[in-house]
Amino acid sequence: MKKPLFIFCFICSSLFLFAQSSGDAALSLIPQPVSIVQTKGSLVLPHQLSIYTDNNAEVNRIANSLSLQLASNFYKVKVVPDKKPLAKAIHLYLVSDKSIPADGYRLKISATGVSLSANSPSGIFYGVQTLLQLFPKEIVNKDGHTSVKQWSLPLVSIEDHPRFGWRGLMLDVTRHFFTVAQVKDYIDQMVKYKFNMLHLHLTDDQGWRIEIKSLPKLTEVGAWRVERTGTFGTFPKPQPGEKPTYGGFYTHEDIKELVKYAADRFVNILPEIDVPGHSLAALASYPDLSCTPGEYYVSPGDRFMVWPGGGQHFYGLIDNTLCPANEKVYEFLDKVFTEVAQLFPFQYIHMGGDETARNFWEKDEQIKALMKKENLKNLDEVQSYFVKRVEKIINSKGKKMIGWDEILQGGLAPNAAVMSWRGMSGGIEAAKSGHEVVMSPTDFVYIDYMQGDASIEPPVYSTLRLKKTYSFEPLPEGVNEKLIRGGQANLWTEQVYNMRHAQYMTWPRALAVAEVLWSPKEKRNWNGFVPRVEKQFERMDAAQVKYAPSLYDPIITVSKKDSATIIVTMDTEVEGLTIHYSFDNSFPDNFYQAYKAPLTVPNESAALKLVTYKGNKQMGRQMVITMAELKKRAGIK
């Protein structure tokens, strides 16, 4: 009786080992490395695992952090500062090798061990991120408890370096405040995909989020607003007697902690102080800084800016700008930028400069006097006068200035860099006149936009699907490529109330941005990217990071054939999905009719319901588009 059981167990365990060692033939790395050569077989790491280093302090720090990630209920991991690694260990070491480009690394996993070399600790750090993605997904379990007994790695030889040096995400901490712990967590997520820039949007109409010791009211008053929940932009303004209790700010100590946390992970933090527009929180604190005397409040998300037609033309119902004709404004900014420059080691400070409503300036006597005195022909030149003075202040603190592309209006400040958001053209114009540029155009990298159909996504005024983000090309033809520092995706948080939703909006679109900014252009391939995203979803599930499954939901186009007939055309972003639908109010599944050609909506139907499947597996979410919505989209009254 015993023998057959023994043989059975032997077969089971061999099958198990085979399954483990054959591993995942297609490595699911994001961003895709410059070159990968994979050979058959795997390296099974011993339970007493050592990470050897050549005792460089920064590499030791990276090794210590790696050891914490690899330790588990089955694994004891120690860091050994010794140049001669034993077999089946991990070896991280610095080299001096001109053939490895900046921030690059070489990673070799062979039957004898893991060897990771780079010219700089940053290269080692990026190599470690790649290495971590080669481990089974259970490695990301935060508590280190796993059912995976053995860490096994595929045998590979990887050479890698980034395409761009500026690989950023912007987090708006003004519309909703995120704590130091939450920002650290966001950094932890972004570094997995080799982002190296966190742009913090620190001031806006809805909150001033950084302590300025010489201007205490900025955080006593400006960091707090009345709380509103629902659809931002529709809220009532503060009512008489209502207490501003919602908000928060970072103290100097908080900022130092964040800067260090980011720097330890090779992330720079770019601080943004958004002026002269978007300044209600500053004005609520110091109303004298406005051209328009009055009482100001920190906006809870009421509608005080108007965009007739939704385009680039807008005006303010309240003057939310700092007054360019008021010398006190420059004294104020000198104080602000003195402290900001001391707190953030990064070479650039962002001064915003976007969406400045000038309808109050138009009629203002001080502005008219300034125009006369400085010979400024129009309001673009008034804005440019302001921006140039801000640049002087920022430069005087030993920093360079960057701003949104509106800073080009009326003439760009002499040393300024431009962050191009209203498309690429501002960036192209700036680069052609010799200025540095970061590309972050709305149509490719505005990750506050919905990522699928409005019937299922939390509502925002525009849509940006994953595939479009993946097609972002930051380097336009005909410009000096050295001036295009890179790109970034921007997460504005008007409609993002908490970190779970920030994650949902960020992932997977930031995976696409990570690959665009790191990997060679010629490696980009949408159909190859999707299965790798799916593998990252598994890792995010294991790490309990939220992401949007919108790539599985259909793309819906509604039109009309005649004044009463609605036609629905559908497509999918991902290959291999079937769309099933109903008009009879029931929820479709894979037994329902599959979409093949444009549908004529039965007039008497109440709603179109949809879902996508891959074979028998539901992939998309149940979607419901009411008849009223279909009519609206078709333009039928």
**Annotated active-site positions, please?**
204, 278, 355
CB of 487 to ligand ACM, least distance (A): 14
CA distance 106 to 83: 17
Q: In terms of CB distance, is 204 or 339 closer to ligand ACM?
A: 204
Q: What is the DSSP letter of 405?
A: G
The one-letter amino acid at 33? P
Residue nearest to ligand ACM (CB): 354
Sheet order of strands, 565-571 included: 555-562, 565-571, 599-600
CB of 469 to ligand ACM, least distance (A): 16
User: Is 536:508 a contact under the CB 8 Å cutoff?
Assistant: yes
CA distance 91 to 63: 9
Q: In terms of CB distance, is 211 or 355 closer to ligand ACM?
A: 355
Q: In terms of CB distance, is 8 or 461 closer to ligand ACM?
A: 461
Q: In terms of CB distance, is 440 or 572 closer to ligand ACM?
A: 440
Which helix (DSSP H) or strand (DSSP E) does residue 392 occupy? Answer: helix 379-396
Reading phi first (left if > 0) and then psi (alpha if -120 to 50, else beta), residue 323 is in beta
Q: In terms of CB distance, is 355 or 457 closer to ligand ACM?
A: 355
User: Is 49:20 a contact under the CB 8 Å cutoff?
Assistant: no
Q: In terms of CB distance, is 106 or 176 closer to ligand ACM?
A: 176
Q: In terms of CB distance, is 355 or 573 closer to ligand ACM?
A: 355
> Residue 358 in 3-state DSSP?
coil
What pairing do the DSSP bridges indicate for beta strands 89-94 and 105-110?
unpaired
What pairing do the DSSP bridges indicate for beta strands 203-204 and 197-201?
unpaired
Query: In terms of residues, how long is the chain?
Result: 637
User: Is 28:533 a contact under the CB 8 Å cutoff?
Assistant: no
CA distance 391 to 377: 21
CB of 319 to ligand ACM, least distance (A): 18
CB of 404 to ligand ACM, least distance (A): 4
CB of 355 to ligand ACM, least distance (A): 5
State the residue for tokens 């050569």. 37
User: Is 162:482 a contact under the CB 8 Å cutoff?
Assistant: no
Which residues have a Cβ under 8 Å from the Cβ of 47 and sit 6 or more positions away? 74, 75, 76, 150
Burial of 615 (0-12, 13-18, 19+ CB in 10 A): exposed
User: Where on the chain is the footprint of ligand ACM (CB under 6 A)?
Assistant: 354-355, 404, 421
Select from 89, 81, 79 the least CA-distant residue to 45.
Answer: 89
CA distance 153 to 45: 8
User: Is 382:407 a contact under the CB 8 Å cutoff?
Assistant: no
CA distance 135 to 61: 20
Q: In terms of CB distance, is 296 or 404 closer to ligand ACM?
A: 404
CB of 585 to ligand ACM, least distance (A): 40
CB of 98 to ligand ACM, least distance (A): 40
CB of 277 to ligand ACM, least distance (A): 9
